Structure 1
Amino acid sequence: MNSLFRRLLVINGLIFAVGTTVLALSPATVSSPVLLTELPVLTVGLALMVTANAFLLRASLAPLDGLTTLMERFDSLRSGDRLQISGNGDLSHLIRTFNAMLDRLEADRSASTARVLAAQEAERQRIARELHDEIGQSLTVVLLQLKRVVDRVPDDLTEDMRAVRESVRSCLDEVRGVARRLRPGVLEDLGLLSALSALVSEFDHVEGLELDRSLEAPPDLDPDTELVIYRIAQESLTNVARHSRAGHACLSLSREPGLIVLEVTDDGCGPPSTDGTGILGMRERALLIGARLSITGGPAGGTRVRLAVPIGGERGAAAG
């Protein structure tokens, strides 16, 4: 700020020096007391000095407007938004420092989010194991015991016992389904394409919803990136099933230059006006891998979720 102070001091000094020089060298004179005929000269001179001062100060302080605009629109979940540093700006140091602060904030948030999501995934895996190994095994034992009981009960109780056995079997299927959603073993074992296909199949049972898929084989991706893509697809389809009131939806995975693009579109009621917990979680996951997530209206109505994941060193392009 010392540089800005010195520049403002120099600007004002120069203006008054020029004004004094012009007054001294011009034929105009000022009497004491001031004559009415001299007032126009003084008024014009003052107006010129104020105008010149305003113009120069405006040019010097213009970067502050951009800085204020950036502060108002900045969102740490939409990374890469920075203010350009002008070549001759006296505020360039301030802008550079502010951009560096945003870099630190985004890095800190990314690190914090990574720790939280890692802990969340670990907890999901623990719960999935307990559901599968403890509750699932217990329900399996109950099914076996019911099978033996059904064979020995009186005929008038046979149908009731079979209904109980089917209820337990349905509970076991639900437990296994929850465990799969918590820990997508197919993602670890068979890869992203198989995991997305299985995910679409899980939503085929939603009444009134026709769900299509278009999946292109991606290049080799690290496990964290695959997990982010899978979780965002999972959350997007869950939102379609619960909130969109859509009759048709499509999940696609495709390749573009430097990008892997996941899209989930539907013909429902359109995107939400505010980001809920699920969407905020999607944005945080996208930020972890330098991807860009957009949630907009579809070309024919409904909602379009688009995740652009950079590959081949194009991370900055997707995140910017």
Structure 2
Amino acid sequence: MSLFWRIFGLNAVVLGTATALLLWAPVTVSVPVVLAEAVILVGGLAVMLVANAVLLRVGLAPLDRLTRLMTTVDLLRPGQRLPARRGHGGVPELIRTFNAMLDRLEAERATSSARVLFAQEAERRRVSQELHDEVGQSMTAVLLELTRAADQAPEPLRGELQQAQEITRESLDEVRRLARRLRPAVLDDLGLVSALTSLTGDFATHTGLGVRRRFDTDLPSLDHETELVLYRVAQESLTNVARHAEAERVEVSLRHSGDRVVLGVSDDGRGTGIVHEGAGIRGMRERALLLGAALDITSTPRAGTQVRLTVPAPRERS
């Protein structure tokens, strides 16, 4: 039954019942209307309106649920659906169409996100290579020239050249660190555990925070795409800790549980109670969406924040 005939039928039932009561009820209307008759008519009208409202509320309840879902649906949290109802036309057809639209939008969002992220990684690889090969080599040549000039220069020029040496050496180290952040060569060469070990080591060195690593030794073999997503989520999580958490210690874990690989990053910072999802967190959700993974972020006031990425095994995803 379509929505039009559903509402028409409900109103017809209420008005037909009211008409039947007026025809067969032993109630008459005088002219002018006496108080008792007015009370009966007003009471009947009130009952009719209440009955009509209740029936319409029941009949239109699926539309209310659909409206609430429309206001809360997020394509980065796939799987939000309304249960499909049997029947043709009207509300059931609207719900099925909306669910089909969500399926299509989620598939298109995953495809477009994959293209963007792959292009981003390719650009990062290119910039990292140029920093390492072009800028790094040029700064190394400058450093060698400064060293040779400092060895031959008299005082006090030698001291100034040595100071320029130190500045150049620090800048070269920073360029190399940026190149590693853009594209960690250790991830390609030695795998995920070594890359996370290097990442957390650099993080501890530059922030002064204590880092605890807990990596399982029986991790399954992961494809490069999965390892890259796990690495980037850990990298972004540590960046958020350094910027916002006001923490003293961080724990990074990588565990194997059944057909799942679980990455965890937790800190002992101030927490917020409410997770404000900026560009960094939404970027993590975009990456999780590529693998069909589940990203959970909880933040407790004065108890820190926990990031948990649960990735299905590659054979299960395929």
Superposition TM-score tier, normalisation by shorter sequence: 0.7 to 0.9
Query: 1 CA distance for matches of 2:63 and 2:115?
Result: 36
Query: 1 CA distance for matches of 2:134 and 2:125?
Result: 14
Identity of aligned residues (%): 52
Number of positions where the alignment pairs a residue of Structure 1 with one of Structure 2 = 313
User: What is the correspondence of 1:1-320 to structure 2 with a 5 Å cutoff?
Assistant: 3-24=2-23, 26=24, 28=26, 30=28, 33=31, 36=34, 42-43=41-42, 45-87=44-86, 91-154=91-154, 157-216=157-216, 217-271=218-272, 274-298=276-300, 301-311=303-313
What letter is aligned with 1:174? E
Any conservation in 2 of the 1:213–1:250 contact (CA below 8 Å)? yes
Query: 2 CA distance for matches of 1:69 and 1:233?
Result: 34
Tell me the TM-score normalised to structure 2 length: 0.86
The alignment's C-alpha RMSD in Å is 2.8
What letter is aligned with 2:187? L
Query: 1 CA distance for matches of 2:118 and 2:171?
Result: 29
How far the C-alpha of 1:212 sits from its partner, in A, is 0.9
Give the direction of change, closer, same or farther, for the CA distance of 1:158–1:93 in structure 2 (3 Å limit).
same
Query: Which stretch shows the higher mean deviation, 44-53 or 197-206?
Result: 44-53
Query: 1 CA distance for matches of 2:207 and 2:27?
Result: 92
What letter is aligned with 1:242? R
Structure 2 unaligned segments of length 5 or more: list them.
Answer: none
1:95 alignment partner, SS class: helix
Query: 1 CA distance for matches of 2:165 and 2:264?
Result: 41
Any conservation in 2 of the 1:206–1:241 contact (CA below 8 Å)? no
Query: 2 CA distance for matches of 1:48 and 1:298?
Result: 50
Query: 2 CA distance for matches of 1:61 and 1:311?
Result: 43
How far the C-alpha of 1:86 sits from its partner, in A, is 4.2
Give the direction of change, closer, same or farther, for the CA distance of 1:202–1:74 in structure 2 (3 Å limit).
same
Q: Deviations over 1:155-176 (max 9, x none)?
A: 6544443333333222222211
How far the C-alpha of 1:250 sits from its partner, in A, is 0.9
Tell me the TM-score normalised to structure 1 length: 0.85
Query: 2 CA distance for matches of 1:203 and 1:27?
Result: 85
2:219 alignment partner, SS class: coil
Query: 1 CA distance for matches of 2:98 and 2:246?
Result: 44
Any conservation in 2 of the 1:267–1:298 contact (CA below 8 Å)? no
What letter is aligned with 1:114? A
Query: Which stretch shows the higher mean deviation, 152-161 or 212-221?
Result: 152-161
Q: Deviations over 1:271-296 (max 9, x none)?
A: 47532222222222222222222322
Query: 1 CA distance for matches of 2:82 and 2:316?
Result: 21
Query: 2 CA distance for matches of 1:27 and 1:150?
Result: 115
1:263 alignment partner, SS class: strand
